[in-house]
Structure 1
Amino acid sequence: MTPSLIPRAPLTLVALLAVSLLAGCASKSEPRYTPKELQRFEASAELDSDWRQRVGRGLGRAQYPIAPDLDGGVIFAADERGRVMAVDAESGERLWQNDLETGVSSGLTAVANQIYLGTRNGEVLALSQEDGEVVWRSRVSSEVLAPPQPNQQLLVVQSVDGAVTALDRHTGDERWVHTSSQPPLTLRGTGTPQVIDPVTFAGFANGRLTTLDNRSGQPLWERRIAVPQGRSEIERLVDLNGQPVLTPDGRLFVTSYNGRLVALEATSGNILWEREHSSYLTPVLVGNVLFTVNEASHIIALDADSGTELWRNRDLEGRWLTSPAFADGNLVLGDFEGYLHLVDTRSGDFVARTRIDRSGISVRPLTDYRRIYVLANNGRLEALDLRR
């Protein structure tokens, strides 16, 4: 999602408008990176549209990060007014629709016959995958922008005030709350926790990564990923807005805005390697290569063992790319003009490109081997097949 800034204290309307114009910038009132024009290339694959569906009014003017989710061959999607629907991933047929009558603000998480989402008024809802009916609803301390994250017993929710709340996944009852200090100004959005059965890894707008014991919510270790620098509050933004990436062998990869990309040991927080890297997006790990998109919308491939740069694609600079997804040897990314780009993971070269919708793409595409599902900002949901 394109970042904007959110103040932690009341501001006048004029001030709020001025702040929103500074989205993604450190100290200038104009964008730091001018969007590059797209250049022609020789495509080695095609993206064929298979079906289209409409998800209400989409992300709304605020472009809430309402990313859909895929589970059991069904796509679950919502719009900012609270319309939730289930769509057959193969045919595009709408299976059901439910109007919640409350504004949805977070991405959806679909798992184990339920759908979890957050709202603008600080509610967390569990819905049935079968018919969209509300199973339970619970309240947390403030607006929820990050998709709720489950383990076997808990649903962990990070809200915009910096609180992390663990709810009982089956009833919605509160189990524990962890709070953190927040700077006066942050990017609009929060980090998405990485949750496994014993612990939760959570990144905060103060530049810190904390590991929480899921039995009690108590911190086990904490590591500063980014250090605020500069005189103004905008220059000192160090949000950890991406989700930490956890590997089966116990490594964590964490990005930060105006900070670093860090690889750590998940059990201790010890740093394995680090490099200067400003990003508000979640990277993706494919094999032993980490793919990340920095704030300039450069796509970068790194050796996951050392952090050594393998290749960099600068051709989409300033185009406000989404977090990357992976499909059949390619990275899949959307941009602010609604183009979907496929990039070869080995070389960084373009493989295919198509335009989904002029309203733009702000949320990470869904992928299922050679099929790609893309939600545009205005609610257009499209399925595409990747053909060599």
Structure 2
Amino acid sequence: MPRMVRSSLIPLLIVLMSSGCSTISGLWHDDASASTGEKTVQQPAGKAIALQWETDLDQRKPASPPGFSLPAVITTAAGERIVAGSQDSRLRVYDADGSELMRIALDAPVESGALQLANGDIVVGDVGGNLYGVDLKQGVIKWRYTLSSALIGQPVVLGNDFVIQTSNNQIYRFTADGKKVWSFSGLLGGLAMHLSPSPVVYKDRIYAALSNGDVVAMNAADGGFLWKRQTVLSNDAAVLSELKVPVASPTIIPASQSGGSEDMLAVPVFQGKLIFISLQDGSTLRTRDISSKASPLLIGSTLFVADAHGAVSALDAANGATLWKQQISDGELTGPVLVGSLLWFADDHGRVYRMEQDGRVAGRIALDGRIDRTPVATGNGGVLVRNNLGILYMLR
């Protein structure tokens, strides 16, 4: 289960449930199959996924909290590099074979993803509310900025700049040298999952799903507010089983790609619904009773969704109808990521799956711990997954 935090605090609170415990199951079901004509795909045995290498990312001490940082694949003149933050407050750099090349000391543990900017620098945040610009050529921190709260999600590129979303529902735009262009403050929520959405950028606008359930749209140039839509009836939950919250980034669905009547935003709500929102005014166009903690993936006119009950659904992106549904796990799935023509998923039991786009399982592997972040594709056809125990795996 993703750890729970008070979104208004900079320090992250302790895990409320053990890392081996599954999130509430059986509370939220996809009951729309009867009206959408879905078909269930038969699941073949599949081929084994190969483990290329693994490394102890966190250098964990006994009783250390679980970690959720997301590895990033970057390009350099010397070839592909893997950058990942860790619980021991260091940013680590590996080559494609898993050999550690560099460690850069930060002020606090890292739970965010990293982003490579156009100038080659790396942006990453820590749980103490520090944002860093790192020069990997020199192995030094070029600049830092103190945020109002922790960065847990992923920085997102915006031209030569970038935008971030903090755990207390603030959106920032920064230049590549760490200067703030603007900030937007959303309303605070109550309890929030440790996993956090990131903004999405589309046609000079920024869209963000906040931990209080709001989805907001703003101008990318100046941060000007455009519209807001509440995705949950109530976010004032006292216990985990009552909490409905977006924990993954929304997915843009252009009408030119889906064949629909207008551009949409697909917003996954964990222990809630998948909500399709109009980009024009934020109105709700349709919903599906699918609980998900991962971003849907749009390929052509098909939207692939991994749910919190272990099933993968292929939806018609124009109208949300189910094309097929495949049960591949008894745990909470995350993903997919596209590698070549195959979809990759992982679950909270440490299992990784790859799948054909018609729903046939094409391979699987069982790893240690649990996996709560979507796998990351490398440029050479590999897939990176990071478990809660601090182990980074390269698969193929």
Normalization by structure 1: what TM-score? 0.82
Deviation at 1:231, TM superposition (A): 8.0
Name the CA shift for 1:184/1:293 in 2 (closer, same or farther; >3 Å). Answer: same
2:73 to 70, 77, 87: 70
Name the CA shift for 1:361/1:9 in 2 (closer, same or farther; >3 Å). Answer: closer
Which SS does the other structure have where 2:335 is aligned? coil
Q: Which moved more, 1:358-367 or 1:134-143?
A: 358-367
User: What does 1:5-16 correspond to in 2, within 5 Å?
Assistant: 5-7=4-6
1:125 to 128, 132, 139: 132
In 2, Cα distance between the equivalents of 1:101 and 1:121? 7
Is the 8 Å Cα contact of residues 206 and 238 (structure 1) preserved in structure 2? no
Partner residue of 1:293?
Answer: 306
Partner residue of 1:365?
Answer: 375
Partner residue of 1:38?
Answer: none
In 1, Cα distance between the equivalents of 2:66 and 2:183? 28
Is the 8 Å Cα contact of residues 65 and 105 (structure 1) preserved in structure 2? yes
Deviation at 1:70, TM superposition (A): 1.1
Partner residue of 1:82?
Answer: 89
- Greater relative contact order, per chain length (Cα 8 Å cut-off, separation 6+): 2
Name the CA shift for 1:184/1:371 in 2 (closer, same or farther; >3 Å). Answer: closer
In 2, Cα distance between the equivalents of 1:351 and 1:223? 39
- Percent of pairs with identical residues: 21
Is the 8 Å Cα contact of residues 20 and 370 (structure 2) preserved in structure 1? no
In 1, Cα distance between the equivalents of 2:154 and 2:332? 21
Name the CA shift for 1:50/1:194 in 2 (closer, same or farther; >3 Å). Answer: same
Is the 8 Å Cα contact of residues 3 and 24 (structure 1) preserved in structure 2? no
Deviation at 1:341, TM superposition (A): 1.2
Name the CA shift for 1:4/1:382 in 2 (closer, same or farther; >3 Å). Answer: closer
Partner residue of 2:161?
Answer: 154
Name the CA shift for 1:334/1:61 in 2 (closer, same or farther; >3 Å). Answer: farther
In 2, Cα distance between the equivalents of 1:23 and 1:94? 29
In 2, Cα distance between the equivalents of 1:303 and 1:58? 43
Partner residue of 1:354?
Answer: 365
Q: Which moved more, 1:375-384 or 1:110-119?
A: 375-384
Name the CA shift for 1:69/1:230 in 2 (closer, same or farther; >3 Å). Answer: closer
User: In angstroms, what is the RMSD of aligned CA positions?
Assistant: 3.2
Residues matched between the structures, number: 364
Deviation at 1:220, TM superposition (A): 1.0
1:302-339 residue CA offsets vs partner (Å, 9 max, x unmatched)? 1111101122223412x232232122332212223322
Partner residue of 2:352?
Answer: 340
Deviation at 1:135, TM superposition (A): 1.6
Which SS does the other structure have where 1:381 is aligned? strand
Which SS does the other structure have where 2:93 is aligned? strand
Deviation at 1:353, TM superposition (A): 1.0
**Structure 2, unpaired ranges of 5+:** 28-42, 257-262
Q: Which moved more, 1:131-140 or 1:41-50?
A: 41-50
Partner residue of 1:213?
Answer: 219
In 1, Cα distance between the equivalents of 2:101 and 2:333? 31
* 1:222 is aligned to 2:228: yes
Which SS does the other structure have where 1:125 is aligned? strand
Deviation at 1:20, TM superposition (A): 3.7
In 1, Cα distance between the equivalents of 2:240 and 2:390? 31
* 1:175 is aligned to 2:181: yes
Which SS does the other structure have where 2:49 is aligned? strand
Is the 8 Å Cα contact of residues 373 and 386 (structure 2) preserved in structure 1? yes
Partner residue of 2:259?
Answer: none
Normalization by structure 2: what TM-score? 0.81
Letter in 2 for 1:127: V
In 1, Cα distance between the equivalents of 2:276 and 2:189? 24
1:8-45 residue CA offsets vs partner (Å, 9 max, x unmatched)? 689xxxx977x5479999xxxx83359xxxxxx75444
